[in-house]
Amino acid sequence: MALLKRLYRWVDLRIGASEIVAKELTGYLLPRNINEWYSLGSILLVIFALQVVTGMLLMVYYVPDADKAFKSVTFIMNEVPYGWLIRLCHAVGSNMMVAVLILHMLSTLFMGSYKSPRELNWLTGFILLTLVQGISLTGYLAPWSQLSFWATTVATNSASAIPVIGPYLVEFLRGGKLVGPPTLGRFFALHVSVLPVVIAALIGAHLFILKRTGISTPPFGSSETAKPWRAESYSYQSHPGGIPFFPNYALQDLTSICIYFAIFLAVVFFAPNLPFTPDAFVPADPFKTPAHIKPEWYFLANYQTLKIFPSELLGLSVQAIAMTFLALLPFIDRSPERHPMKRPLFLICTVAGILLWIGLTVWGHFS
C-alpha cells in the first residue's frame, strides 16, 4: 500500500492527479435522490468494452470468407480452448447490449430526463440505439449459417419497399442481387471497423454532453434546490449538497455491474443456446430457405408490423413515423413537468406503446 501511495504521489506531482480526482470523482456531486436506474449507462459502457475485447479475440481465428467463415466459427467453438466462452460472451453480450440500452432509454423516458436542456443527450442516445441494432445486424451474418444468411436476406429485403431507390438500395447493401460473399465482405467491414468507431465517438459525445449539462435530478424522492434551467444562457446544473460520485455512486455502479454480470453469465453458462435457433448450426445454403426464418427478438416487432400491413411501404412508413416521433420527443413534449404520475397522457401513451411493442414482438415470434 505504501508503494502504491508513493507511486500516486509521484504521478500527482507531475500531472496534478489529485486535482482531477477532487473535481471529477470526489467533488463531482450528484442529486441526493439519485437512484439505481442511473447506473444503466455505466453497465452499457462495460458491455461495449466487453464486446470490443471479445470481438478482437474472435478476429484472431475468424475468417471473413464465405467458404471458410462457418468452418472458422465451428473451429472457435469446438477446437480452440475457451473459444466457446469468448464467442458466447460476444453473442449473448450483443443481445444484452440492446436489452440494457432499451431499459436505459425507458428509465430516461419515465423520469423525463430527455427534456430541456437534455435534448442532445436523448438524440445521441437514440442514434446509439439504432447503431447498436445495426452492429448487431451486420455481426449476425458473420457466422455464415443458415440463420445468418436468411435473416440477412429478409432484413435487407425490407429496404426494397422504399419507392424509387428501394431496389437499388437493396443491391447496394448486399453488394449484389442476392446475399452472397460480397455481402459478407461489406458487413464484416462495417461490423469491425466502421460501426465500432462511430459508436465509440457517439458515446464520447453523449458523455461530453452529459458532463456539460449536468446530471438530471430524478422526479421521485426528496426534492432538492437545483435551479430550473432557462433558455437564456448556458448554465451547468450543479447539485450543491449532493452525494459524491466517488465513492458513493461508484459503489452503486459497481453493484449494478455485478448484478448485470450475474444475469449475463447465467445465460452464458446455463442457457448458451438462447441466442441461437437450430438453423444457426447449419452452414449457409443459398439454394435452401429454412422454414419460419425469424429476425432477432429486437426486430420481431418491426417484422410483424411489415406483415400486418397490406403493403410493405405502408408498414415501413408507420415504423419510420414512430421512430422519428421517438427521436424528436424532447422537441415535441416541451412541458417542464417530469413526474410520470403528474403526466397522465404521457403515462397512458408510453405504457400503451410498450405493450404494443411487446405484443407485436410476441406475435412476431409465434406467427
What's the grid cell of residue 351? 405504457
CB 148 within 8 Å of CB 279:
no
- We find the least distance from the C-beta atom of residue 82 to other proteins, in angstroms, to be 4
Residue (82 or 331) nearer to other proteins, CB? 82
| Closer to other proteins by Cβ: residue 80 or 205 | 80
Question: Residue 163 interacts with other proteins (CB under 8 A)?
Answer: no
Could you identify the residue written with the cell 500531472?
A: 15
DSSP output for 16-49: -HHHHHIIIIIT-EE-TT--GGGGHHHHHHHHHH
Among 34, 40, 86, 199, binds other proteins (CB under 8 A): 86
Q: How far is the CB of 76 from other proteins (least distance, A)?
A: 9
Q: Long-range CB contacts (< 8 A, 24+ apart) of 159-164? A: 160/312, 161/306, 161/311, 161/312, 161/313, 161/315, 161/316, 162/313, 162/316, 163/313
Pick one of 45, 46, 77, 80: the residue that binds other proteins (CB under 8 A): 80
Cβ proximity to other proteins, 1 vs 164, nearer residue: 1
Q: Given candidates 5, 78, 81, 310, which one binds other proteins under the rule CB under 8 A?
A: 81
Q: Which long-range contacts (CB under 8 A, 24 or more apart) does 179-186 make?
A: 179/141, 179/149, 179/152, 179/153, 179/286, 180/66, 180/286, 181/65, 181/66, 183/141, 183/152, 183/156, 184/64, 184/65, 184/66, 184/69, 184/141, 184/142, 184/144, 185/64
Task: Give the number of other CB atoms < 10 A from CB of residue 329.
Answer: 17
The answer to the question of residue 82 lying near other proteins (CB under 8 A) is yes
Is 130 exposed, middle or buried, given 0-12, 13-18 or 19+ CB atoms closer than 10 A?
Answer: exposed
Q: Are 39 and 252 within 8 A, CB to CB? A: yes
Q: Does 52 bind other proteins (CB under 8 A)?
A: no
* SS3 of residue 268 by DSSP: helix
Determine the interface stretch with other proteins among 28-36, 38-46, 74-82, 91-99 (rule: CB under 8 A): 74-82
| Cβ neighbourhood burial of 266 (10 Å; 0-12, 13-18, 19+) | exposed
C-alpha cell read off for 25? 470523482
- Span interacting with other proteins, options 37-45, 81-89, 233-241, 355-363, rule CB under 8 A: 81-89
User: CB of 85: closest distance to other proteins in angstroms?
Assistant: 5
Smallest distance from other proteins to CB 88, Å: 11
Q: Is 60 in the site for other proteins (CB under 8 A)?
A: yes
Judged by beta carbon, residue 59 or residue 362, the one nearer other proteins is 59
Q: Which three cell numbers stand for residue 98?
A: 440492446
Of 30-38, 82-90, 189-197, 205-213, which part binds other proteins (CB under 8 A)? 82-90
In angstroms, give the least distance from the CB of 24 to other proteins: 23
Residue 29 pairs in a beta bridge with 244
**Considering the rule CB under 8 A, would residue 120 count as an interface residue with other proteins?**
no
- Residue 69 engages other proteins in binding (rule: CB under 8 A): no
254 vs 354 by CB, closer to other proteins: 254
Q: How far is the CB of 46 from other proteins (least distance, A)?
A: 13
Please choose, out of 28-36, 83-91, 98-106, 356-364, the segment that lies near other proteins by the rule CB under 8 A: 83-91
Binding other proteins by CB under 8 A: which of 41, 55, 64, 83?
Answer: 83
* In the complex, minimum distance from the CB of residue 15 to other proteins, in angstroms, rounded to a whole number: 25
Query: What is the binding site for other proteins (CB under 8 A)?
Result: 57, 60, 80-83, 85-86
